[in-house]
Structure 1
Amino acid sequence: MAILRLLVLFMAAVWQAQMCLAKTVTHDFNVTWVTANPDGLADRKVVGINGQWPLPVIEVDKGDRLVVNMHNALDRSASIHFHGMFQNGTNGMDGASMVTQCPVPPGSDFTYNFTINQSGTYWYHCHTDYCYPDGYRQALVVHDDESPFHNDYDEEMTITVSDWYHEMTEDIAPKFLSVYNPKGAEPIPDAFLFNDTMNSNLVVKPNTTYLLRLINIGAFVAQYFYIEDHTFKIVEIDGVYTEPAEADTLYIAVAQRYAILLTTKNTTDKNYPIVTVADSVLLDNIPSDLQLNQTNWLQYNAEADHPQANITVDVASDLVPFDDITLVPTDGTPLLPEPDMEIQVDVQMMNLDNGDGYAFLNNISYTMPKVPSLYTVFSAGELATNQAVYGEFTHPMVLEHNQVVQIVLNNNDTGSHPFHLHGHNFQLLDRQPPYGPNFYDYADGDPVPYDPNNHTAFPATPARRDVFVLPPQGYFVIRFVADNPGVWIFHCHIDWHLSQGLAMILIEAPTQIQGADRSNTPQQHFDVCKAAGIPYEGNAAANTEDYQDLTGQNEQVGWLPAGFTARGIVALVFSCISAVLGVVFIVIYGLSDIKFKTTSNIAQPTFETTESVAVTTTGNRAENYRD
């Protein structure tokens, strides 16, 4: 007993010592428009902070409290999501608009205040509508003197890669979700950036080991990364330390992060291309002036030549990146036990009745509720455990505290999707096809769903991360413990796909949320809702009288009538427009005085036959919402 008391006293002393070392890191962010031209091709407005762009890198130490005072001086609503932060006990600081907070309207202030008990490589970005492709994104680094490789490097650098658009997203979005884009082809970027610029140098010393933190802060396109004539060791993915793994090429999907150890050569004779190659398979078309391959340099000698990389590869078959599912966490956490709850959802991309292309998980296209879902938890009382109160079209799932949860994600789409879960990292159990030359094997055939009776053996010590890529027409299986009460969104991190509805929410331990998280949510949250004109009590329909009455909830657009394809509905729309114009011209012509009539040649409208194909659905859409 005495030994136990001594042990408790010792642990308390250690904790107090750590708390004494912790500090508060405060940033005052005045979010405004500024002008930038990172690729040298086009000036455009971007979201700046304190009049500057690129945005400031946030750097803290493990255990620090981070306070970000944001003033929104834009002409649109905004927020900040600190990507990868668990926000344990501070779910209201997660920054996902209409999930954990109201969007911050122009002229309003919002303070994010939370303690960081993690370490590694993260980033922050706007999580409101199409906000972050306009430049509202940057790295967040959490240093840790006790990391397994802290003594294995001399210096560190942070590298971001991203896609870049010359048009504002407010101008791109209406053309993307439009009857004129029935297949939902994603907007093609105009450039690809490296540390928010191009043709840059990483200045290094010979025979020195560097920790390079790599982050894809783009909105759409994954990128391959390698350095000519160099290999490196992977030591972290998405904030999870791994046993060092030798590699020469990485595939970094949007929102993914890697930390690598790179030891330079013992020479200064030459400089070496750092090569990033956009995954062109994701692009529906490739403009002739779009440069997919970028060369920056590992600069040993400023006076030496800076050669362009010689890239002649087919990215779908020739570049073989390291398979992240094979990495082993240094903490040795074993495979979690059989799940208490399994969520199986299928990705589909289809058209709805307005002719626009939408994204679905089990035939539900995520549609924002009228009340942020976290605030529904706060106000619903005992009904907070009833997933129906969160609305049908948020696709809610209520998880019990400390359940082992398994998500099986099948892809019925021919594109890949990097899925992110807020509030957690998760174990990577299976993915087919695997990374490598066969990654796109299923894209041209039929979808291959997960078969629980016939799959690759799950690893004994699975890799963990918070963004995992779903292969074209393949699947993945992930597993995590619901040990972090909160409302967490699970979504594709391609921002265009999120805007199409490729998301669902997990309401984890709602009774516990009503305790700590409610007390940690300041009044400012609700003041911002008032300023934005958004209700902060009630169910998804903002009904405070009967939480099970969802009359008036926001709904996804109705289903396309059977027999129409996307191509067919576009043809029908244009045919109707042509017909109406034809009638208008006839009426005008008929009402004109005969003496002013002239002869003209009017082209006849062309009609395209609508293809007949049924819209197929799987399962009963109501089944997922029963108590």
Structure 2
Amino acid sequence: MIFKSILLPIAYLTYLISQSAAETHTFHYTATWVDANPDGMHGKKVIGFNGEWPLPEIHVNKGDRVELYLTNGLENKNTSLHFHGLFQNGTNYMDGPEFVTQCPIKPNDTFLYNFTVPNQSGTYWYHSHTGAQYGDGLRAPFIIHSDDEPYTYDEERVISVSDIYHKQYDEVTAGFKTRYNPTGAEPIPQNLLMNDTANATIYFDTDKTYLLRFVNMGLFVSQYIYIEDHEITIVEVDGINVEPMQVDYLYIAVGQRYSVLVKSKSNTNKNYAIMQKFDDTMLDVIPQELKLEALNYIIYDESKSKPEAYHKKDAELFDEFNLKPLDNIELLDEPDFRVTLDVLMDNLGDGVNYAFFNNITYVPPIVPTLLTALSAEDDAIHSSIYGSNINAFVLQPDDIIEVVVNNKDSGRHPFHLHGHVFQVIQKSQAFEDDDPQSYDENDHDPFPSYPLIRDTVTLEPNGYVVLRFKADNPGIWFFHCHVDWHLEQGLAAVFIEDPLGLQLQQPSDNYYEVCVNNGIPIKGNAAGNYENLFDLTGENVQPEPLPEGFTLKGYIAFLVSTLAALYGIYSIIQYGLEDSIQDDQKIYENLQAILKSNGVLVNEFNNVDETTRL
């Protein structure tokens, strides 16, 4: 008892000291268009803060508070912010994805992102969660420092990698999600960037150990990173410290982060290349002008010549699955609830290629899902009220959740979970298109005792991953592919975690004002119905499926084309036999008569576009 009476005050005193040492970081940012030329090849308007771009890195300490006032100065576009990798425990309404946890911020409106970071440290980033908007530059690293880092180093460098599209994101999206792109081929970026520029320079001093924090902030393509004549040792993955692993190169999917230790040289005899390379297996086509590799510089001595491109030799295959958490966190218990998601890409009735989980493509609801949960009272436990098209799964508090993702697609998909990290307990290799493999719970490799933990994992083509996490963070948590083109196609699900416990969270007045100012309902089911939460009349749903066989319009077009062809042959014969002038109006009247005699309504024929008629 005496021992306890001593311990409790000490623990409480430690808590008070940590709280008093915490700092509040206040930022006032206005998102505006800025003229830039990131790769030196093509000027474009990017989204900056307060008239400047690139956006600032944000550095805070563990336990600090962030107050970020974001004003939308984009004139005719909505915006939002997501702090990628942060748990937002107790502040789910600060997570950011529009129509999931918040309403979009309309032009000239201001949203206050207000949260603490009490139990996380490491490498994160922040970005717009409005369409593919962050591809136009609305993204930057977010670093949480801690005094208890388990590795030592002299200096750190934050290094972002990304792809760039010379056109703005909405123009690229419009050309991608169209029936004229029936295969769903993703837009090909025009270049690679490092630290938001081409041919970036990173300065090293001699005899130092550097912590390099890599963040892939791109929209689409995974990248390889390799450094000439320097050893790379991974020590952190997505905010999780791991047992040091020496590798020849990094493979970073979009959304992923790696921190590595690099020991610098003891002399300044030369400068070295740091290379980045697209994973070109993700590209449907490779334009002749596309450079797959980019040269960047590690400079020891500016008076020495810059390095030439360095091409890595054959190296051991990089496999994230082999990374092990430093704290020996054991495999979670058998799941209380399993979610199985089958990935498929296919076309719907509008001719557009969509992405599906279990034949459902994500369509944003009329009311943000968080507001449905907060306003539904006891009915919040029913998944149906959240809509037919968001892949909603209600999770019970403290359950062990297992998520199985089977890839029925030949593409590579980096899946990201908001609000949690997960254990990666199975990760298959890639398989051939004619031989996709699904996870078999009765026949699989042994589970690792201390599995990899991260928040973004790569699903291989035609393969599978199995993830586990504990439902200990009440909230509405988005689970989606971080290839943003696939998210635009609808490759997402929503976990409604402990919705009754979530109702204890109280968003600010500003949170609701942003919704009201944008004309978005702040209560009710996915369709905005508050009187009857189970009535989804008027909800947003996916297009109808492609019909089997021809549609009525298809039959009419086929018939008209056939008759027109026959009549055309007849006209040619007549023209050849008679020296007469063709009467187009007479031909049209005769064709209408033929249609009537075959039971086809003239007005149906007239509804066919002119090109088809002719």
2:336 pairs with 1:350: no
2:100 pairs with 1:111: no
2:381 pairs with 1:385: yes
Aligned length: 574
Q: Which residue of 2 is the match for residue 531 of structure 1?
A: 517
How far apart are residue 271 of structure 1 and its match? 1.2
Equivalent in 584, 587, 597 of residue 590 of structure 1:
584
Q: Which residue of 2 is the match for residue 363 of structure 1?
A: 359
Q: Which residue of 2 is the match for residue 464 of structure 1?
A: 453
Output the CA distance in 2 between the equivalents of 1:94 and 1:323: 30
Give the aligned residue type for 1:153: Y
Equivalent in 423, 426, 442 of residue 430 of structure 1:
426
Q: CA contact under 8 A between 1:579 and 1:605: conserved in structure 2?
A: no
TM-score, structure 2 as length reference? 0.90
Q: Which residue of 2 is the match for residue 252 of structure 1?
A: 252
Equivalent residue runs for 1:197-212 within 5 Å:
197-212=197-212
Equivalent residue runs for 1:62-211 within 5 Å:
62-74=62-74, 75-117=76-118, 118-149=120-151, 152-211=152-211
Output the CA distance in 2 between the equivalents of 1:541 and 1:70: 28
How far apart are residue 605 of structure 1 and its match? 8.3
Q: Which residue of 1 is the match for residue 601 of structure 2?
A: none
Instruction: List, as ranges, runs of 4+ consecutive aligned residues in structure 1 with deviation greater than 6 Å.
Output: 604-607
Give the aligned residue type for 2:311: I
Output the CA distance in 1 between the equivalents of 2:378 and 2:175: 44
How far apart are residue 321 of structure 1 and its match? 4.6
Equivalent in 404, 414, 417 of residue 421 of structure 1:
417
Q: Which residue of 1 is the match for residue 42 of structure 2?
A: 42
Output the CA distance in 2 between the equivalents of 1:493 and 1:514: 28
Q: Write the deviation string for residues 525-577 of structure 1: whole angstroms up to 9, x where unpaired.
A: 1111111111111000100000011111110111112358xxxx9x979x88x
Output the CA distance in 1 between the equivalents of 2:493 and 2:341: 10
Q: CA contact under 8 A between 2:219 and 2:254: conserved in structure 1?
A: yes
Q: CA contact under 8 A between 1:415 and 1:443: conserved in structure 2?
A: no
Q: CA contact under 8 A between 1:293 and 1:311: conserved in structure 2?
A: no
2:551 pairs with 1:549: no
The secondary structure found in structure 2 opposite 1:141 is: strand
Q: Write the deviation string for residues 455-500 of structure 1: whole angstroms up to 9, x where unpaired.
A: 1111111110000000000000110000000000100001110010
Give the aligned residue type for 2:279: D
Q: Which residue of 1 is the match for residue 271 of structure 2?
A: 271
Output the CA distance in 2 between the equivalents of 1:579 and 1:458: 61
Greater CA drift, 527-536 or 404-413:
527-536
Output the CA distance in 1 between the equivalents of 2:328 and 2:116: 25
2:9 pairs with 1:23: no
Equivalent residue runs for 1:245-324 within 5 Å:
245-311=245-311, 320-324=316-320
Output the CA distance in 2 between the equivalents of 1:532 and 1:99: 15
The secondary structure found in structure 2 opposite 1:236 is: strand
Equivalent in 455, 463, 485 of residue 474 of structure 1:
463
How far apart are residue 307 of structure 1 and its match? 2.6
Output the CA distance in 2 between the equivalents of 1:97 and 1:579: 47
RMSD after superposition:
2.5
How far apart are residue 308 of structure 1 and its match? 2.2
Q: Which residue of 2 is the match for residue 216 of structure 1?
A: 216
How far apart are residue 28 of structure 1 and its match? 0.7
Q: 1:451 to 1:17 in 2, by over 3 A?
A: same
Q: CA contact under 8 A between 2:248 and 2:315: conserved in structure 1?
A: no
Larger radius of gyration: 2
Q: Write the deviation string for residues 322-363 of structure 1: whole angstroms up to 9, x where unpaired.
A: 322111212221000000001011000000001100000000
Output the CA distance in 2 between the equivalents of 1:410 and 1:344: 8
The secondary structure found in structure 2 opposite 1:205 is: coil
Q: 1:154 to 1:558 in 2, by over 3 A?
A: same
Gapped runs of 5+ residues in structure 1? 434-439, 594-603, 608-627
2:496 pairs with 1:507: yes
How far apart are residue 388 of structure 1 and its match? 0.7
Output the CA distance in 1 between the equivalents of 2:541 and 2:548: 20
Output the CA distance in 2 between the equivalents of 1:342 and 1:285: 37
Give the aligned residue type for 1:122: Y
Give the aligned residue type for 1:473: N
2:332 pairs with 1:331: no
Output the CA distance in 2 between the equivalents of 1:177 and 1:166: 18
Q: 1:386 to 1:444 in 2, by over 3 A?
A: closer
How far apart are residue 305 of structure 1 and its match? 2.3
The secondary structure found in structure 2 opposite 1:166 is: coil
Output the CA distance in 1 between the equivalents of 2:15 and 2:336: 33
Output the CA distance in 1 between the equivalents of 2:341 and 2:515: 32
Q: 1:249 to 1:572 in 2, by over 3 A?
A: farther
Gapped runs of 5+ residues in structure 2? 572-581, 588-609
The secondary structure found in structure 2 opposite 1:443 is: coil
How far apart are residue 319 of structure 1 and its match? 5.8
Output the CA distance in 2 between the equivalents of 1:217 and 1:405: 28
2:481 pairs with 1:485: no
Q: Which residue of 2 is the match for residue 404 of structure 1?
A: 400
Q: CA contact under 8 A between 2:219 and 2:483: conserved in structure 1?
A: yes
Output the CA distance in 2 between the equivalents of 1:271 and 1:30: 39
How far apart are residue 52 of structure 1 and its match? 0.5
How far apart are residue 11 of structure 1 and its match? 1.0
Q: Write the deviation string for residues 397-441 of structure 1: whole angstroms up to 9, x where unpaired.
A: 0000000000010000000100000000000111111xxxxxx4x
Q: Which residue of 2 is the match for residue 600 of structure 1?
A: none
Aligned identity (percent) is 46
Output the CA distance in 1 between the equivalents of 2:70 and 2:386: 28
The secondary structure found in structure 1 opposite 2:274 is: strand
Output the CA distance in 2 between the equivalents of 1:65 and 1:322: 37
Q: CA contact under 8 A between 1:428 and 1:477: conserved in structure 2?
A: yes
Output the CA distance in 2 between the equivalents of 1:379 and 1:124: 28
Give the aligned residue type for 1:66: V
Q: 1:376 to 1:308 in 2, by over 3 A?
A: same
Output the CA distance in 1 between the equivalents of 2:491 and 2:561: 36
The secondary structure found in structure 2 opposite 1:48 is: strand
Q: CA contact under 8 A between 2:275 and 2:310: conserved in structure 1?
A: no
Give the aligned residue type for 1:121: T
How far apart are residue 301 of structure 1 and its match? 1.7
Q: Which residue of 2 is the match for residue 451 of structure 1?
A: 440
Give the aligned residue type for 2:539: Q
Give the aligned residue type for 2:124: Y
How far apart are residue 309 of structure 1 and its match? 1.8
Q: Which residue of 2 is the match for residue 598 of structure 1?
A: none
Q: CA contact under 8 A between 1:37 and 1:44: conserved in structure 2?
A: yes
Q: CA contact under 8 A between 1:73 and 1:106: conserved in structure 2?
A: yes
Output the CA distance in 1 between the equivalents of 2:527 and 2:612: 44
Q: CA contact under 8 A between 2:273 and 2:310: conserved in structure 1?
A: no
Give the aligned residue type for 1:267: N
Q: 1:525 to 1:543 in 2, by over 3 A?
A: same
Q: 1:180 to 1:266 in 2, by over 3 A?
A: same
Output the CA distance in 1 between the equivalents of 2:324 and 2:188: 36
Output the CA distance in 2 between the equivalents of 1:91 and 1:40: 40
Q: Which residue of 2 is the match for residue 614 of structure 1?
A: none
